[in-house]
Amino acid sequence: MAEQNEKLHIVVFPWLAFGHMGPFFELAKLIAQKGHKISFVSTPRNIHRLPKVPENLQPLVDLIELPLPRVDKLPENAEATVDIPHHLIPHLKQAFDGLEQPLTIASALYYFLLDHYTSKARVSAQNKGFPDEHYETNESGVSDVFRVLETTNSAQASAIRTCMEIEAASLKLLESIYSKPMIPVGLLPPSLEFSEDSNDENWDTILKWLDKQEKGSVVYVAFGSEVRLSDEDFTEITKGIEMSGFPFFWVLKKQNTSNVELQDLVVNNSGTGLVWRTWAPQMRILAHKSVGGFLTHCGWSSVNESLLVGCPLVMLPFQNDQFIVAKLMEEKRVGTRNCTKSI
C-alpha cells in the first residue's frame, strides 16, 4: 500500500445504477478532499447526469466517458438501470462487461474502486438462501453471486457503504470470513450543498406546497426508479394512503407502473395530496419540517437519506436486498415493516 502521505490516483468504476453511481460519486469527492486524484469512469449519458463537481475539487476529479458497447435487445441510449425495465438488466450487465477491455490500465500507479467484477467466466454456486436469480447465469454469462465473490476475493480490502453503528456485527463477520479489512466508509448521502440547484423550479413549487402543511403531517411516498408495481399493489397502496387521512407527497415515476389509467386516477383524485411525476429533490423533501414519515421500498440510498434527517420509515420492500434492509431497520427501531414476504 502507499505511504501515508503519498498522493494516489484512484479509478472509480461503479455499476450502471444511480443507487451505486451516486454514493460512489460522494465517496470520490471525499477522497479528493484528501488531495488524491480521482478518475470517475462511466458512460457518456451517466456522466452527464451526475451532479456538478464542486469547483474546489475540479482539478482533482476527472469524469471519464467510455461508450457503452452495443448489445442486442438493449435499447438505444440505455446506459443505466433507470433507462430499462427490470428484465433487461442482464443485457445491461453484458454491455457493462464489454467495458472491461477499454478500462484495463497496465499501471501500478492506479488503485481501483470497483463494485461489480467484469468477467466472461462461468461458475455455479449453491443456493444459500438468496433468490435463485442471483445464482443463475444470465445473458452476461455470470451470476450476480460470482460477481460479488470475485470482486471481494480479488481485492486487498473492501470499502462498504455502512457504519459500525448499523452493521458492526456483519462487518466483523465478513472480516473473519475473508481475512481482509472491511472498511465502513459511512452512509454517503448526497451533498445538498452541491447536488441540487438552489434555483431549481421544481423545488420552488414543492416547497410552497410543503410550507402550507402542518408540521410532521405529510407522508412522503417514493419507490425509486426500478420498482415496478403490479396493478394490485398500486391499487392497495393508493387506498392505504387515502385511508390514512394524512396529506401525502407521492413521487410517482413512469417506471413504477405501466398502467396509465391507474396513474391518471391517483393524480386526478389526490385530494389533500400531491402527486409528482418528474424528478424531485428527495433529501430536501425528507428534511422539511412538514414531513413526518417516509413510505419507502427500502432502497439503501433512500433509507440512508431518511436516517440522515431523522425521518421515520414505513417500509414496503419489493426486491433484492430491500427485505434485508427493512428487517435491519426494524431491528434498529427506526421504522415499521409492512410486508408479507420474508427474506
What is d(CA 342, CA 323) in angstroms, rounded to the nearest whole number? 7
- The single-letter code of the amino acid at 334 is V
pLDDT of residue 265: 65
Angstrom distances, CA of residue 220 to CA of 9, 44, 102, 197, 299: 41, 32, 42, 21, 15
pLDDT of residue 255: 65
Coil/strand/helix, residue 189: coil
Question: At which residue does the C-alpha cell 457503452 appear?
Answer: 68
The candidate with the shortest Cα–Cα distance to 286, out of 314, 312, 267, is 312
The candidate with the shortest Cα–Cα distance to 93, out of 47, 52, 146, is 146
Angstrom distances, CA of residue 315 to CA of 9, 19, 233, 298, 306: 40, 18, 14, 6, 12
- The single-letter code of the amino acid at 335 is G
User: Angle CA(225)–CA(229)–CA(231) in degrees, nearest 5?
Assistant: 150
pLDDT of residue 126: 39
DSSP per residue, 247-271: -EEEE--GGG-S-HHHHHHHHHT-T
Report residue 259 as a C-alpha cell: 398502467
Question: At which residue does the C-alpha cell 409528482 appear?
Answer: 276
pLDDT of residue 175: 93
- The single-letter code of the amino acid at 149 is L
Question: At which residue does the C-alpha cell 444511480 appear?
Answer: 18
pTM given for the model: 0.78
Q: What is the pLDDT along the chain (343 residues), one digit of tens a residue?
A: 455 678 899 999 999 998 899 999 999 999 999 999 999 999 999 999 998 999 999 999 999 999 999 999 899 999 999 898 888 989 999 999 888 877 765 444 445 565 654 443 333 333 344 445 544 556 667 777 777 788 888 888 888 899 999 999 999 999 999 999 999 999 988 866 544 554 567 888 999 999 999 999 999 999 988 788 888 888 888 888 888 889 999 998 776 766 666 666 665 566 678 888 888 889 999 999 999 999 999 999 999 999 999 999 999 998 878 999 999 999 999 999 876 555 4
Cα 194 → chain centroid? 18
Please give the DSSP secondary-structure letter assigned to residue 162.
-
**Beta-strand relationship, 313-315 and 335-337:** parallel
Coil/strand/helix, residue 295: strand
List of residues 6+ apart from 79 with CB closer than 8 A = 16, 43, 44, 45, 46, 68
Contact 185, 161 (CB under 8 A): yes
The candidate with the shortest Cα–Cα distance to 95, out of 105, 84, 106, is 84
pLDDT of residue 194: 43
